[in-house]
Amino acid sequence: MNFNRLCAATLGALVVALPGVAQVQPAAEVEPLNVQAAATAQETPAPTTDPLASAAAVYATYHGDVTDIKRNSFQSSSDIQAALRTLGGQNSEQLARGWMAYSALVASQTPEFRAALRDVEGFYGKDAVVRGLQNDTDYAHSLHGGRAAVRSALGAVEADSQRLVNTAAIVKEQAYTLQAQSWAKGRIGDSGNLATQLRASSLTGRPARNGMVSAFSAPGIDTVLVTAGSQGATSVWENVSSSAVSIRPPESSGTAGLPDSNVAAGKKPIADRIATLAAYRILGANDTGATPVKSALTEKQTEGCLTMAQLNLQQCIAATHQHFEVPFCIGEHALADVGRCISKVSQ
């Protein structure tokens, strides 16, 4: 274990062509975004002093909305607009911080990594270790178990990414099947204004639901997180809907986890941040809402990718004319693009 290193650190525009369209129905005003209460309730999050739990709850809220949309096909233009508002209203900074927090929480469950940090803490003291983590972003990742911790986090995120891509395919397929429905061939109206509304919503973002905040603060959350990072685990969110008040451990898919070498070129700084945040969690530095934790949660590469996904969604919506075209935009940019953004560290 590199104690000397710790001492040094302590000091120092999309076009969509859909075939087989029948006669276009008369133009109609866009119906109000009538979102189902269970899917979009804007709650005031329960107070918590843990910035990792608070941020992860935003990520969990997004995935709960994804589950609702995956389970329920579109039966009206209001359903489509509700899904668009729900997924298209994410704030890229908040969502990026959320996936970083969730990744760190998973990484913090690795036994050998936890033991290594406790050894260092016992030798130098908690405050000195926290200062060392601030000054050397690679330190936590280099500890015994650090690479395994990051690997478990990347495996959990890869499962989430695949779930989003799979859900995107289901949603995009409806852009074709809905052409047989007369209501779906109706004209949207002012699609440019709809895109403008999406942009305004994304600047504010969607708050975490109380149920998800409570779930990440519950004593049993570590049982879920340790399973999420195990080899072959499916996505934690597969059975978590917007109305969920708890999170269950995922099932095993029977496949192998990601190898240690799967941190992509140029993405090591992100992996280092995940390990550092996990170390803060293990040491309890997150319990005070510490500035180091909040600072490490900021990750501009993924945030930029998510921002571009939002812009592409808005441009796609602005180019739509009929209701059945909108699911393609949702699937491609509010789901698949997000999945690709969060998986870039392990590509």
Residue 214's SS3 state is: helix
* DSSP code for 252: B
What does the alpha-carbon distance between residue 213 and residue 206 come to, in Å, rounded to a whole number? 13
Please provide the average confidence, as pLDDT, over all residues in the chain. Answer: 84
| 218: pLDDT strictly greater than 70 | yes
Cβ contact 301:99 at 8 Å: no
Mean pLDDT, to the nearest integer, of 215-239? 88
Query: What mean pLDDT comes out for the span 204-218?
Result: 91
How remote is the C-alpha of 237 from its chain's centroid? 10
Alpha helix segments (H runs only) across the chain: 3-11, 37-40, 51-71, 77-88, 92-107, 111-124, 126-135, 139-142, 146-177, 191-204, 210-217, 221-228, 268-283, 291-296, 300-318, 326-329, 337-343
Cβ neighbors of 292 (< 8 A, separation 6 or more) are: 130, 133, 134, 280, 285
Q: CA 319, CA 7: separation in Å to the nearest integer?
A: 57
φ, ψ dihedrals at 250, nearest 5°: -75, 165
Q: Quick one: pLDDT at residue 346?
A: 84
Collapsing DSSP to helix, strand or coil, 143 comes out as: coil
234-252 tens-digit pLDDT: 899 998 998 888 898 887 6
Give me the mean pLDDT over the 291-305 stretch. Answer: 90
pLDDT of 228 above 60: yes
How far CA 96 is from CA of 26, 62, 114, 300, in Å, comes to 41, 11, 25, 8
Higher pLDDT, 134 or 11: 134
pLDDT at 49: 65
Asked if residues 247 and 224 have their Cβ atoms less than 8 Å apart, the reply is yes
What's the chain's length in residues? Answer: 347
Lowest mean pLDDT among 11-20, 75-84, 90-99, 258-267: 11-20
Judge contact between 271 and 98, C-beta under 8 A: no
On the CB side of 120, CA atoms within 13 Å amount to 31
Greatest extent of the chain over all pairs of C-alpha atoms, in Å? 76
pLDDT at 178: 96
Q: What 3-state DSSP class applies to 1?
A: coil
Give the residue-averaged pLDDT of 44-72: 85
Band the pLDDT of 329: cuts 50, 70, 90: very high
Considering only CA atoms, which of 74, 79, 66, 64 is closest in space to residue 32? 79
Measured distance CA(257)–CA(152) in Å, rounded: 8
